[in-house]
Structure formats: C-alpha cells, structure tokens
A and B are shown apart, each in its own frame.
Chain A
Amino acid sequence: QVQLQESGPGLVKPSQTLSLTCTVSGGSVNSGGYLWTWIRQHPGQGLEWIGHIYYDGTTHYNMSLKSRVTISLDKSKNQFSLRLASVTAADTAIYYCARAVWTSGWFDPWGQGTLVTVSS
C-alpha cells in the first residue's frame, strides 16, 4: 500500500523560499503511470492544485503559480519536492502531496498534509 508523508519547515519568512519534501513508501517514484503532485489548501478554504512531476522529470504547474514553483524528484531517496519562491502571507496553507494516475488524473493516496505559515 502506497503511503506519502510530507515534511519541511512549518514557518517561512516572507520573500523566502518554501521547501517541502514528500517521502513515498510502498511504491516507487521511478515507476511510470503516476503523477507525483502537490496540492494546497488555504485555511478554511478549498483545494488548489500546484503542479506535478512524472517519473521522467516532466513537470506541469498551475499557471497562476508557475513563475515561482519548482517540483523535483529524488529517485535515490524515493522522494519528490516542492519549492515555492518569494512567498507571502497568501501562501500560508496546508500543503498536501498526492499521487495521481497519469491517464485520468484522480488523486489517491494523499499525504496527511503539513501546515506552512508565512510570517516574519
């Protein structure tokens, strides 16, 4: 059974870069057929797709965040990561990693989520 777990700082200063890692167990980020995905949820609000990465390194990002987002793979550690540059308070959110089936794009499973607060 595939499980995902987010990790990273819970507090980031404005203008700095948010960095999170998702560790995958029970499966491999190097296997085809899946999109390794980041999604966020602002406090009390809905879900926002950030972007995803395929096992070959191909990435796609939300157009509204594209200029600030980088998603990368570390196959040796079976992890994928999110970097979001130049953060502001508007980036305060719960960040989830998830796996999507590449042919149909639905998300299962999800990590438990990690709250990142942007504040000085």
Chain B
Amino acid sequence: EIVLTQSPDTLSLSPGERATLSCRASLSLTSTYLAWYQQKPGQAPRLLIYSASSRAIGIPDRFRGSGSGTDFTLTISRLEPEDFAVYYCQHYGGTPQVTFGQGTRLEIK
C-alpha cells in the first residue's frame, strides 16, 4: 500500500510570499494518478491539480503542481489571503485503492 507523506505539517507565511508544499510517496507513482486539493474550514475539498501538474478548471495560475516518481510539489507563487487553507495530495492506485496525504496546513504568519 502506498503511503503519502506531506511536509511540512504546518507552513506559516505572509500574503505575497511563495509557498512550497511537498508530497512524498513510499513507492514510485505514475503522475497521472496524483492530485492536489484545497480545503477551507467548513467546506468540502476542492480539486486544484490533477495528473500532478494540470490545473483544474477555474484554478488561478499561481497554483502549480510538479514532480514525478516519489516526489511531488505544490507551489503557490504569490499567496493571496484566500489561499490559507489545508492542502491534501491524493493518489489513485492499483486494486484500486485511494490514498490521501495527512495534509499541510497553510496559515497566515
């Protein structure tokens, strides 16, 4: 079973700064099956990035996904106040089984 480990658990930054969130897999992944979500308090998660690097419809271009193999990154180039939230990576694997990372909380410094 693939385990996704996100780091850091919490990231404290100011609006306008750049955020780099990591998702590391216990086994090499096919990028097609790696996605990122944003969740704000009291809301359902929202798809940001699919296939590791493709932005979902309506997602601003300050959000960028990258990576391959076991290391994937979500970068937010210039933080807006509405970007402070919890971010999850997710993998769809064989059998099939679905795995989520534990999440990274992005908070205002």
Contact = CB atoms under 8 A, between A and B. Distances in A.
A42 B9 CA distance: 17
B32 A107 contact: no
Contacts of B98: 37, 49, 62, 105
Contacts of A2: none
B14 interface: no
A16 B90 CA distance: 31
B46 interface: yes
B102 A46 contact: yes
Interface in B79-104: 88, 90-92, 95-103
Interface string B17-55: 000000000000000110101000001111100110000
Interface stretch (A22-30, A71-79, A80-88, A109-117): A109-117
A46 B103 contact: yes
A113 B43 CA distance: 8
Nearest to B101: A46
Interface size class of A (residues with CB under 8 A): 20 to 34
A97 B101 CA distance: 19
B51 to A, nearest CB: 6
A62 B97 contact: yes
Contacts of A93: none
A112 B47 contact: no
Contact of A105 (B37, B45, B96): B96
B88 A105 contact: no
Nearest to B43: A112
Nearest to A50: B98
Nearest to B88: A47
Given A46-B102, A46-B103, A110-B45, A104 B92 contact: yes
A49 B45 contact: no
Contact of A104 (B32, B56, B103): B32
11 contacts: A37-B98, A49-B99, A60-B97, A105-B33, A105-B90, A107-B35, A107-B47, A108-B56, A110-B45, A112-B44, A113-B44
Interface of B: 32-33, 35, 37, 43-47, 50-51, 56, 88, 90-92, 95-103
